[in-house]
Structure formats: C-alpha cells, structure tokens
C-alpha cells in the first residue's frame, strides 16, 4: 500500500464516523490533500485508440479527450482481459478475470451480489452512479443512482431504465447521456459526499450513427486503406473463419445507411430490415437532417455503382466517416463534462479516467468489430488525470482488471485481496510499481455469435504473444485447436505465425509455462489441458 499517514488517518476516520466526517470536516482540518477524491470514470463502447489524437493523429482531432492526457497520463500498453462489452464491464467492476466474475460472454447475466468497486466505495460513504450503457443484464447494484440504456441502447430517442423505471428520452444518445450525467452532478447527488460517477457512452458502437449536426464532417476526407486490409490470414485459421469483414460482412443498408426511398438497394434481409427500423426511430426533424445527408450519399453510390475492390474501398470510407462523426460528438460531450468540473472547482479532487470497453478494428486485417487477441482489439485506450499526479506516458503492461483497485486506492479504500488486478496509483504518482507485471492473460469465450470468432486464450509479454485457439464444437463437428505465436517486435501487424517454426520451440514452451502460471493465478486451471 502506498498511503501517506494523512491518508490512513482519513480512512480510519471515514469508517468510524461514516459520511458525517466528510461534511463536518473532522478529517479535513488535518491537511488539504486528505480531501476525498471524487471519481469520474468515462467509458465509451468500441472506441479505438486509433481514433483518439492523443494516441494517433492520422484520422481525427479529439481536443477534449486529449485534455485528460495533457494534464495526466497516457497508458501506451493498456489492454483488456476479454475483448467484448459485457465481459469487459464485469472485469472492470470486479477487478477480476471473466471466469472468476462469472460473466464470460454477452449472453451471461452479471451476479450483482458479488463484490464490485462501486459497492466498496458506497460502503465508505461515496455517492455512486452509473449513467449510460450498462449491458450486464441484471439490474445495477452498488449505485445510489442508475440510469441505463436497455441492452446496446439506441442512438436516437433512446429508452433508459432510471432506477427501475423505463423512460424514453428525445435526442441523440451521447448528448442525452451527458445531460443526465451533468444533471446528476449538479442536482442529483449529495454534495456533502465524494462521488463516483461511471459515465458510459453507447457511442461509437455499431451502427455508428452520427448526430445530425455532425453529418457533413469528413465528407471530403479519403482515408488510406490500412496496410493489412487485404490480409490473407495465412497461418491463422481462426482469423480466416471470422465474419467481421468490411468487404463481406459489413451491410450496405444496416451499417452503411443506404436505406433508399426507392427501395432499390437490398442487402442481407434481416439486416436490411433492421437498418430501416433504426431509421424509423427518428422524429421528423431528425429524419429531415438525416435524409439531407444520406440521400445525397445514396444518389452518389447509385451513380458510381462500385464493384469488387472499388466497393470495398467505398465501404471502408463510409465506415470511417460515420465512425469519426460519432467520435466527434463523443469528444464534444466530454468537453462539456470537463468544463463543468472546471467551473465547479472539482478538478483538484477528481480522478478522471477515460477508456473504452475494448479496442476496435478500423479496417486492419480487413475488419470492423473486436474479440480477437490481436493488438487492435486487445488494446484499449486509457488516459487518467490524477490531481497532483505525474504527466506523460506510462509504458507498463496494464489491463482493465487494474481499474477497480486503482479507483479504490485513490479513494482511500482498502483493496480486497481476492482482486486480480493491481492498483495503478503508484504509477500515477510517479512511484515504483511493485506489481512489476511481466505478462498479461487473455481469455475470449463467445461463440459463434455474432462474428464467429473462435474462443481463445493467451499470454502477452512485452515482446511476444502466444494464442491458443481452443478446440470447440460447432454444428455437430469438432473444430480443432491450434496455436499462434507472434514476435511483436519483428511483426507488429501479427501476420506471421511462427508457432512450430524451427528455433521457436523453446520460446513457445516458456510462454506455455507462463500461460499455465497465469491460469493458476486467476483460477482458470480447468483450461490448462487444451
């Protein structure tokens, strides 16, 4: 533990007299720095690090998200434990890997009776809230206030469940979610208590629907195809078998919004119907703005009538433009929240976290979506601003199981021993990190829904990655297991599977031992014999 004496006194004080201590200032007399730390945890859904200018300046400028990095730290080796929404959220709340927290894939139901960091904070007198996407099926527990989207939620006029009551709200999801968060900060919480707000945007999840005011952005931009766009997947069977390809699986009507009034453009029937249904959620003003943009896009598409590689390129451009428009709105909304904290004098005692539930493919390997342990989806953006903390890059291997202990420690709440993650607070303060992590463990379970990515697990060190594609039954057939090994230094795009190649035996063996070690550490022994 890394507490100062003052901090320990504050915890003791909190647990003795509960929340009263926070308002009466019994502890506050001691020292300014013992002021309880508020937590603002902002998480988007499917936000790639490639589309945050603090990480990558190729595509978009995100000045507001970058404010968090400029005043704090940027983690350059930040990863998830299971690259998909519900499981990621469960890892984040519990600080534990998926098998231990029981939420292994999106069809799971979160056991809300288990230990989570919001519950531990609440027990120590914090006012807690979650607003936006939840996606854990069961009702939130450990929150004084919750106002969540149903499932994935809708971009336009979304329905929320506010403390158990359904309510449909007019407007665009990112704006509505921000308004709800600002309203809770201003009017909803007990201002005598420290707060922990989980602000979870649904954006930029599929189908990347922009706000009407952002529709014309990027219309003239042309983005180069990623160098791995036409990956052959040689030596990577699971990569070959997926259904998340821009070329083959991205739907013209559903994903790319070509729901033409003439009803001439047709795509996969279920997706085409869903695409037209989403449009019908909009009110007449929203539809008019939408049509003013997409009717022109549709007309141009029909005129051009692209085929083959021209069609692939067209789809990629259209995907990128919509995705980036959605990010522009996210960034603007985050700016509003940061402005509010500044105006209210909350910046000097609020830990701000910005992250995503996982990374996302921006056309790398020809894909959209996530799930794979390959870099683009295994990684996730992570920016933190700790008042009085260090600034710059943190390069250690960190994972979303580390968020819970970090937040607990920042709040001065003891971190339970059964948590798998390690607090990042020492790193935020520029101190030694006793965790000294050498490798990360990963385990993805969902199959076959919805993109047919094979269940796999693996280990990643600073330089190497070993992936085990788990043998799986599918449609009455047994799909064989396989191994993939990458040297990330020599092959950062992970195109060359060197498993089984001469000279790699020792490396593979040592990574297998490491994998087994981590499986034991995280209670995943049942997967050791694969």
Residues in contact with ligand SGN by the rule CB under 6 A: 45-46, 84-85, 106, 135, 152, 205-207, 357, 369, 450-451
Q: Which is closer to ligand SGN, CB of 145 or CB of 451?
A: 451
Query: x/- string (CB under 5 A) for Ca ion, residues 83-122?
Result: --x-------------------------------------
Distance in angstroms (rounded) separating the CA atoms of residues 405 and 403: 6
Applying CB under 5 A, the span of 24-32, 38-46, 422-430, 474-482 interacting with Ca ion comes to: 38-46
377 counts as binding Ca ion under rule CB under 5 A: no
Provide the token pair at 176: 């509505």
507: burial class by Cβ within 10 Å (0-12, 13-18, 19+)? middle
Q: Which is closer to ligand SGN, CB of 152 or CB of 396?
A: 152
Q: Restricting to residues 49-88, which ones interact with Ca ion according to CB under 5 A?
A: 85
Min separation Cβ 371 and Ca ion, Å: 10
Q: Which is closer to Ca ion, CB of 153 or CB of 412?
A: 153
46 counts as binding Ca ion under rule CB under 5 A: yes
**DSSP strands (E only) in 188-337:** 195-200
Task: Compute CA 216 distance to the chain's CA centroid, rounded to the nearest angstrom.
Answer: 26
Q: Which is closer to Ca ion, CB of 133 or CB of 460?
A: 133
Q: Which letter does DSSP use for residue 363 in this model?
A: S
Q: Which is closer to ligand SGN, CB of 126 or CB of 360?
A: 360
Helix (H) or strand (E) holding 343, with range, is helix 308-343
DSSP alpha helices (H): ranges in 95-216?
Answer: 98-101, 117-123, 173-183
Q: Which is closer to ligand SGN, CB of 154 or CB of 524?
A: 154
Q: Which letter does DSSP use for residue 401 in this model?
A: G
Min separation Cβ 54 and Ca ion, Å: 20
Provide the token pair at 367: 């894909």
Min separation Cβ 88 and Ca ion, Å: 7
Report the residue from 13, 22, 44, 45 that binds Ca ion according to the rule CB under 5 A: 45
Q: Which is closer to ligand SGN, CB of 121 or CB of 453?
A: 453
Sheet with strand 145-149: strands edge to edge: 165-168, 159-162, 145-149, 127-132, 195-200, 38-44, 350-356, 382-385, 73-75, 392-394
Q: Which does 369 bind (CB under 5 to 8 A by kind): ligand SGN, Ca ion, none?
A: ligand SGN
Min separation Cβ 105 and ligand SGN, Å: 9
Q: Which does 450 bind (CB under 5 to 8 A by kind): Ca ion, ligand SGN, none?
A: ligand SGN
* CB within 8 Å of 494: residues ≥ 6 apart: 374, 375, 465, 486, 488
Distance in angstroms (rounded) separating the CA atoms of residues 352 and 384: 6
Q: Which is closer to ligand SGN, CB of 206 or CB of 236?
A: 206
Distance in angstroms (rounded) separating the CA atoms of residues 136 and 138: 6
Q: Which is closer to ligand SGN, CB of 78 or CB of 380?
A: 380
Min separation Cβ 45 and Ca ion, Å: 4
Applying CB under 5 A, the span of 243-251, 337-345, 349-357, 483-491 interacting with Ca ion comes to: 349-357
Applying CB under 5 A, the span of 132-140, 181-189, 350-358, 440-448 interacting with Ca ion comes to: 350-358
Min separation Cβ 150 and ligand SGN, Å: 13
* CB within 8 Å of 90: residues ≥ 6 apart: 98, 101, 102, 103, 108, 110, 136
Q: Which is closer to ligand SGN, CB of 46 or CB of 211?
A: 46
Q: Which is closer to ligand SGN, CB of 106 or CB of 122?
A: 106
Applying CB under 5 A, the span of 40-48, 218-226, 227-235, 241-249 interacting with Ca ion comes to: 40-48
Nearest-CB residue for ligand SGN: 85
Distance in angstroms (rounded) separating the CA atoms of residues 41 and 48: 17
Q: Kindly report the length of the chain.
A: 530
Nearest CA among 183, 158, 188 for reference residue 170: 158
Output the DSSP codes for 512-526: HHHHHHHHHHTT-GG
Whether residue 232 contacts residue 495, with contact meaning beta carbons closer than 8 Å, is answered with: no
211 counts as binding Ca ion under rule CB under 5 A: no
Q: Which is closer to Ca ion, CB of 50 or CB of 85?
A: 85
Applying CB under 5 A, the span of 39-47, 51-59, 164-172, 177-185 interacting with Ca ion comes to: 39-47
Distance in angstroms (rounded) separating the CA atoms of residues 417 and 451: 36
Min separation Cβ 294 and ligand SGN, Å: 18
Return contacts of 114-117, CB within 8 angstroms, 24+ apart: 115/416, 115/418, 116/141, 116/142, 116/404, 117/93, 117/403, 117/404, 117/405, 117/407, 117/408
How many CA atoms, within 13 angstroms, populate the side-chain half-sphere of residue 238?
26
Min separation Cβ 152 and Ca ion, Å: 9
Distance in angstroms (rounded) separating the CA atoms of residues 199 and 201: 6
Min separation Cβ 380 and Ca ion, Å: 10
Applying CB under 5 A, the span of 185-193, 302-310, 352-360, 400-408 interacting with Ca ion comes to: 352-360
Report the residue from 357, 409, 494, 524 that binds Ca ion according to the rule CB under 5 A: 357
Where on the chain is the footprint of Ca ion (CB under 5 A)?
45-46, 85, 357
């Amino acid at each position: 533990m890394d507490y100062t004496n003052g901090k320990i006194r504050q915890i003791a004080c909190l647990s003795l007299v509960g929340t009263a201590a926070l308002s009466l200032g019994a502890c506050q007399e001691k020292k300014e720095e013992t002021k309880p730390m508020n937590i603002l945890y902002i998480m988007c859904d499917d936000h790639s690090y490639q589309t945050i200018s603090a990480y990558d300046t190729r595509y978009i400028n995100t000045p507001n998200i970058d404010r968090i990095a400029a005043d704090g730290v940027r983690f350059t080796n930040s990863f998830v434990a299971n690259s998909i929404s519900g499981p990621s959220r469960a890892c984040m709340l519990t600080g534990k890997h998926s098998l231990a927290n029981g939420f292994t894939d999106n069809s799971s139901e979160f056991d809300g009776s288990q230990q989570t960091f919001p519950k531990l904070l609440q027990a120590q007198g914090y006012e807690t809230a979650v607003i936006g996407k939840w996606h854990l099926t069961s009702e939130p527990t450990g929150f004084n206030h919750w106002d969540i989207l149903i499932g994935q939620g809708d971009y336009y006029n979304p329905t929320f469940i506010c403390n158990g009551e359904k309510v449909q709200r007019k407007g665009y999801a990112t704006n509505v979610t921000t308004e709800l968060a600002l309203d809770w900060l201003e009017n909803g919480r007990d201002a005598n208590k420290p707060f922990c707000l989980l602000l979870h945007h649904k954006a930029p999840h599929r189908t990347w629907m922009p706000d009407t005011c952002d529709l014309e952005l990027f219309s003239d931009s042309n983005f180069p195809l990623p160098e791995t766009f036409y990956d052959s997947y040689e030596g990577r069977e699971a990569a070959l078998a997926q259904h998340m390809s821009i070329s083959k699986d991205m739907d013209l009507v559903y994903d790319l919004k070509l729901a033409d009034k003439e009803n001439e453009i047709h795509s996969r029937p279920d997706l085409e119907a869903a695409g037209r249904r989403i449009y019908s959620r909009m009110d007449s003003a929203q539809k008019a703005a939408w049509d003013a943009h997409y009717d022109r896009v549709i007309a141009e598409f029909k005129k051009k009538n692209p085929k083959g590689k021209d069609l692939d390129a067209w789809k990629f451009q259209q995907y990128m433009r919509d995705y980036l428009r959605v990010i522009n709105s996210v960034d603007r909304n985050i700016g509003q929240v940061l402005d509010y904290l500044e105006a209210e004098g909350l910046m000097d005692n609020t830990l701000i976290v910005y992250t995503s539930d996982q990374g996302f493919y921006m056309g790398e390997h020809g894909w959209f979506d996530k799930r794979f342990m390959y870099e683009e989806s295994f990684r996730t953006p992570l920016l933190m601003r700790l008042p009085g903390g260090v600034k710059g890059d943190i390069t250690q291997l960190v994972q979303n199981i580390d968020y819970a202990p970090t937040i607990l420690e920042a709040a001065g709440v003891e971190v339970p021993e059964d948590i798998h993650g390690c607090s990042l607070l020492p790193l935020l303060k520029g101190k030694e990190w006793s965790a000294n992590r050498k490798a990360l463990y990963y385990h993805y379970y969902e199959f076959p829904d919805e993109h047919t990515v094979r269940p796999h697990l693996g280990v990643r060190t600073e330089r190497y990655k070993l992936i085990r594609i788990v043998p799986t039954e599918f449609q009455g057939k047994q799909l064989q297991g396989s191994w993939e090994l990458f040297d990330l230094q020599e092959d950062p795009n992970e195109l060359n599977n060197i498993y089984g190649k001469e000279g790699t035996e020792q490396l593979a063996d040592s990574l297998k031992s490491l994998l087994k070690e981590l499986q034991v550490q995280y209670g995943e022994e049942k997967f050791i014999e694969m």
